[in-house]
A and B are shown apart, each in its own frame.
Chain A
Amino acid sequence: MSTQHERIAIVTGANNGIGFETTVGMADAGFHVIMACRSEAKADAAKADVIARVPTASLDILLLDLSDPDSVRAFADVFRARHGKLDVLINNAGILLYSAQTNADGVELQFATNHLGHFLLTALLADMIPDDPASRIVSLSSIAHKSARIHFDDLTCEQDPAAAYGQSKLACLLFGDELARRLKVAGQTIRALTVHPGGSDSGLFNELDPASREAMKAQVAPLLHSNADAAKPSLFAALSDRVEGGDFYGPTGPEEMSGKTGAAIRNPVSEDDAIAKRLWRLSEEMTGQTFAIGG
């Protein structure tokens, strides 16, 4: 049970990969962590694994399917009923697909899950986040954002399905940036920032047959870093007092695949805030959710 003084964090996609390691780190830092996961069974197993690593961990599982707006709204309702505030929101969950798929509303599934679901979740919970510099909203982008653009005329990426993942991860960065700008305009001290994990194998080879998947994972493993290292930028963004709203962090080693956490290289698209503002309006339209700050 959480107490009034306890600091509360939500980590989406907490049951595996980077999200799992982020949960470990946040629990170790003394947060009560809400593990927002799709599968109860997987979350239960992950919770036990976190406790094995951090025996003092205070954890709760709350089911969340980011691709389904109803699930996001239900999650927010339950969270609000149980908790008086939210200190850190880590919008970590992400899917990587190689095939064209859409959610029930016909929205490209990676855009729906990685971006829109988090946009809606953040919009629904923003008023529960205390106006304090230690409050954080962390978005997760990816190296793949660098070669991407937002296909406003073809958001489903009908013409180029391979572009959809990068688009969704660019959207995460643009959302983090725009959120930081709006918080600033509203005079709030909450810090919204974005990170990317570098080279991590979580999901890279999904959709391959099991034999090829395992073979490729084993072969490229030396070029990637561990999930614990991949979670470091997220934990830095959530916990360090040396970060500012709108910052973008990631590993600073060769090609940003691994290495010490520091300032990450941006897609120049993100320097044009008109694109971020257009994406924000579009996200409001698509989720049917006005996102007002300080209102």
Chain B
Amino acid sequence: MSGTKERVALVTGASSGIGKATAEALAKAGYIVYPAARRVEIMEDLKSLGCIPIKMDVTKEADVKAAVERITRDHGGVDILVNNAGLSVYGSVEETDIEKARYQFDVNFFGVGRLTQLILPHMRRQRWGKIVNVSSGEGRVHAPLAAWYVSSKFALEGFSDCLRAEMAQFGIDVVVIRPGAIDTEITGGFIEPLLKTSGHGPYAGTARKMADWFRNMSAEKGTASPPQVIAEKILEAIEASKPRTRYAAGVGVRQAIFFRQILSDRMFDRFMMRMLG
């Protein structure tokens, strides 16, 4: 394909946090950026950077199809897909409503899978494409009261590995990003549902410790990183001629992965429970 054509990026979950910071970073770097989110109205400010906000609920087939069709019509197709949209369902395995658990997978896993299916034909035909899947430190490292979330991210990690191997022959790169503690509105939003699900029953002790842990996460205190740190990693991954298969950034994530790597399962469990306080 022509080297002069500007690359087209689709960033999901772009109305706030990491997604918004990524849309901004890519727009500033000269990409044609479609930030996508359910709340299209709060992405108005991105227009000043040349972004084209697009309404999309990644769990809605019609939304996803319409978005890809529009981008294909206007700019030929998606060259760079940043699968960032995600949510975090915290609470014990036992007490989490199974419908919420399914919805967790619908967004974090099937949302990514479906969108990927739709953008692949264009990337494959042009033999160029970048798929960046925003996982989490918890895509490698488990935690108590996080089973539904962690398993959705472990699934995403496995999916990404398979996809990378599958698409290499077509010149398409698949990269996993593992953010650590990031100061976003989602982080604050963990606390109430966690306590609602598990804050009063048999898991209340651990739930309260986790809630304190989340409460303590702030960029101001240095206990979390601003989302721009992740946006920079995503840009780095997109622009690298040979990107790493995984990037980890943000407070604590490298330490957590390091411990997970060198300790046994049970010793890591003990470390983690100690860290929660």
Contacts and interface: CB of A to CB of B under 8 A. Distances in A.
B222 interface: yes
Contacts of A236: none
Contact of B262 (A146, A160, A223): A146
Contacts of A208: 251-252, 255
B159 interface: no
A3 interface: no
Interface string A135-150: 0000000111011000
Contacts of A144: 258, 261-262
Interface string A211-222: 110001001101
Interface stretch (B5-13, B38-46, B240-248): B240-248
B275 A205 contact: no
Contact of A98 (B244, B245, B254): B254
A4 interface: no
Nearest to B276: A219
Contacts of B252: 208, 212
Contacts of B261: 144, 147, 162, 166
Contacts of B245: 159
Interface size class of B (residues with CB under 8 A): 20 to 34
Interface in A245-266: 254-255, 257
Nearest to A257: B267
A99 interface: yes
B91 to A, nearest CB: 23
23 contacts: A142-B262, A144-B258, A144-B262, A147-B261, A158-B244, A161-B254, A162-B254, A162-B257, A162-B261, A166-B261, A204-B255, A205-B255, A208-B251, A209-B222, A209-B251, A212-B222, A212-B251, A222-B274, A223-B270, A223-B274, A254-B267, A255-B264, A257-B267
Contact of B275 (A159, A162, A219): A219
B155 to A, nearest CB: 21
B274 A143 contact: no
A175 interface: no
A31 interface: no
A165 interface: yes
Interface string A169-206: 00000000000000000000000000000000000110
Contacts of A254: 267
Given A160-B244, A212-B251, A98 B262 contact: no
Nearest to A255: B267
B271 interface: yes
Interface residues of A, number: 30
B212 to A, nearest CB: 11
B222 A211 contact: yes
Contacts, number: 65
B221 interface: yes
A162 to B, nearest CB: 5
B187 interface: no
A216 to B, nearest CB: 6
Interface in A220-237: 220, 222-223
A73 B232 CA distance: 40
Contacts of B246: 160
* Top 9 A-B residue pairs of the complex, sorted by shortest distance between their CB atoms: A209-B222, A98-B254, A144-B262, A219-B274, A255-B267, A220-B274, A159-B244, A147-B261, A212-B223
A181 B92 CA distance: 54
Nearest to B253: A98
B274 A211 contact: no
B263 interface: yes
Interface in A59-107: 98-99
B277 interface: yes
A283 to B, nearest CB: 23
A142 B271 CA distance: 18
Nearest to A97: B254
A204 B261 CA distance: 13
Nearest to B255: A98
A212 B223 CA distance: 6
Nearest to B264: A255
A205 to B, nearest CB: 7
Nearest to B245: A159
Contacts of B222: 209-212
A101 B122 CA distance: 38
Contact of A165 (B221, B258, B270, B271): B258
B215 to A, nearest CB: 13
